[in-house]
Chains A and B, each alone.
Chain A
Amino acid sequence: MSLEILTYSFMHRALISGIAIAILCSVVGLFLVLRRYSLFGDAIAHSSFGGIALGLLAGVYPLWTAYGVSIISALIITKIKDRYNISGDASIAVLLSSGIAVGLVIISLSGGFSIDIFSFLFGSILLVSVNDTVLILALTGAILIVILLMYRQLLYSTFNEEQAKVSGIPVEKINYLIIFMAGITVVTSIQLVGVLLISALFVIPNVTAIMYGRGFKQTAIISMTLSVSSVVIGIIVSYIFDITPAGTIVLISIGFLAGTMGIKSAGLLSKN
């Protein structure tokens, strides 16, 4: 086996956009995991299914309706959750099932059209176009800048809402900002990596990184490193062995998680 595959331009695009998405999902996902919102990515992804169906029905480019529907429904569900004091996991369940329901009803109303369910579930990272890559890089850059500028506020309102409020942080606006960023991240990534991989990238590297017992910045860096490594190794390995990239990437990140748990129970993870 040669390194020839690294010279293909579709491979360059897959790796570049894969790395961007890996970084983005791990950073945005860290805040979601810490807010006990781990399945939120999944829920948004499901509601984007409704959005895609709506776009196909209305004859609009499905990605745009997916952005619209996912972000708006995520914000609405957050509003309802706060208003009626519904717990986070329950509100996620509502969002998740209503997104799929809307999609299914629209599809059956229109007599059914062929949404490529397989690529919705697992993505098609090796088919990324130049335009997709540019869009992904731009959105990743924008979201990372916002997070970098605001991370102390984002972190404080994630850590303890009440204390953050008292110190004058607009906690509600920050909550919506996080939801909004998560929505953009999911819809941007979903066409490439699919529903399955989105929630895996949101959650697994972060759960692993948190185990290392470090502070916030180091935890974020560990998570990004794991996430990027899983994606890069996953893309290359899956190409070489001709297996599904999404599944391979998830399995590799689970491998890191298992390895970390092993190191930890062997008592090798104490600091100093």
Chain B
Amino acid sequence: MLNIVEISNLIVKYPDVKALDDVSFVVKEGDFLGIIGPNGAGKSTLFDCMLNLNTKYDGTIKFFDKDIRKSKDYLKEIGYVPQKPIFEKNFPVTVNDVVRMGLKDESNEEKIDDILQQLWIHELSERRIGELSGGQQQRVFIAKALVTNPKILILDEPVTGIDQQSIDLFYSILRELNSKQKITIIWSSHDLDAVNQLANHVACLNRTLFFHGESEKFFSDDKLVKQYSEASMQEHMHHH
């Protein structure tokens, strides 16, 4: 099957830390990849590189077998949901405005309607984005990511402030997008159980890539899971 992403020997150094060290992996068409790792593991850094937001890296990143340093066309195929979309609370845009921002034409109104309905935000469409709850905003940004018909969805999962019901809805939407609409999903998360339920591939990241492969392999190997949990616990203690 087609390689959607191929990352080889990715290294990112910030002045104080090496955020990523020799990370290599491949994502194939239709994969649902869960990237797990503790705070500071380098997940957002990895995404920034993949999205051409950070170009100061060593190694190569290929999308559809093309080096992203050479061609930016791949960005058209990506829907991106950032970890914390930052905007002013009273920014004067409605949900309707947000999902249409940046679009060139009005041609896909029907599709936009469908997506809003699919994500259960149809009734919120005239509300200002800043008035919505965290979970509702997250769905708006997924909708926004979907209106351009992406082949790949990249989600940097927000960590806090979303209730269980919204999380469940969010997960069932992701599952449906992957299985019914065949969208390749790359999703970072802290939630091991959720990754276990949703993803068919797992990458454990903590500066280096600790494991990458089918999620069954990871989750059926107690030793691996335990090793991972301990490593991230240690990291956690380190930070406090």
Q: Is the pairing of A and B real?
A: yes
A residues whose Cβ falls under 8 Å from a Cβ of B: 34, 152-153, 155-156, 159-160, 162-169, 209-210, 213-217, 219, 271
Stretch at the interface among B78-86, B183-191, B224-232: B78-86
Contact B94 A152 (CB under 8 A): no
Per the bound structure, the CA–CA distance linking A216 and B91 in Å amounts to 9
Contact B92 A152 (CB under 8 A): no
Contacts beyond the supplied A152-B102, A155-B101, A163-B144: 13 A-B pairs with Cβ under 8 Å? A34-B92, A159-B91, A160-B87, A164-B101, A165-B51, A165-B52, A166-B75, A166-B80, A168-B76, A209-B92, A216-B92, A216-B93, A216-B94
Given the known A-B contacts A34-B91, A156-B101, A216-B93, are A168 and B72 also in contact in the complex, defined by CB atoms under 8 Å?
yes
Per the bound structure, the CA–CA distance linking A213 and B92 in Å amounts to 7
Instruction: Tell me if B206 counts as interface (CB < 8 A to partner A).
Output: no
Contact B101 A210 (CB under 8 A): no
Contact B92 A168 (CB under 8 A): no
Per the bound structure, the CA–CA distance linking A160 and B83 in Å amounts to 13
Per the bound structure, the CA–CA distance linking A166 and B91 in Å amounts to 21
Residues from chain B with a CB closer than 8 A to the CB of A215 are 92-94, 96-97, 126, 128
Q: Which of B76, B78, B88, B102 contacts A156 (CB 8 A)?
A: B102
Q: Which of B80, B97, B102, B126 contacts A153 (CB 8 A)?
A: B102
Contact A159 B101 (CB under 8 A): yes
B interface residue count range (under 10 / 10 to 19 / 20 to 34 / 35 or more)? 20 to 34
Given the known A-B contacts A152-B101, A155-B97, A168-B72, are A163 and B88 also in contact in the complex, defined by CB atoms under 8 Å?
no
B residues whose Cβ falls under 8 Å from a Cβ of A: 51-53, 72, 75-76, 78, 80, 82, 85-88, 90-94, 96-98, 100-104, 126, 128, 144, 148
CB distance from B238 to the nearest CB of A (A): 28
Of all chain B residues, the one with the shortest Cβ separation from A35 is: B88
Contact B92 A162 (CB under 8 A): no
Residues from chain A with a CB closer than 8 A to the CB of B85 are 160, 163
Residues from chain A with a CB closer than 8 A to the CB of B94 are 214-216
CB distance from B152 to the nearest CB of A (A): 12
Residues from chain B with a CB closer than 8 A to the CB of A159 are 87, 91, 93, 98, 101
Per the bound structure, the CA–CA distance linking A149 and B216 in Å amounts to 51
What would be 17 A-B contacts, judged by CB atoms less than 8 Å apart?
A34-B91, A152-B100, A152-B102, A159-B87, A159-B93, A160-B82, A160-B85, A163-B80, A164-B102, A166-B52, A166-B78, A166-B80, A168-B72, A169-B102, A214-B128, A215-B94, A215-B96
CB distance from A174 to the nearest CB of B (A): 10
CB distance from B205 to the nearest CB of A (A): 20
CB distance from A27 to the nearest CB of B (A): 13
CB distance from B115 to the nearest CB of A (A): 15
Per the bound structure, the CA–CA distance linking A214 and B75 in Å amounts to 32
CB distance from B104 to the nearest CB of A (A): 8
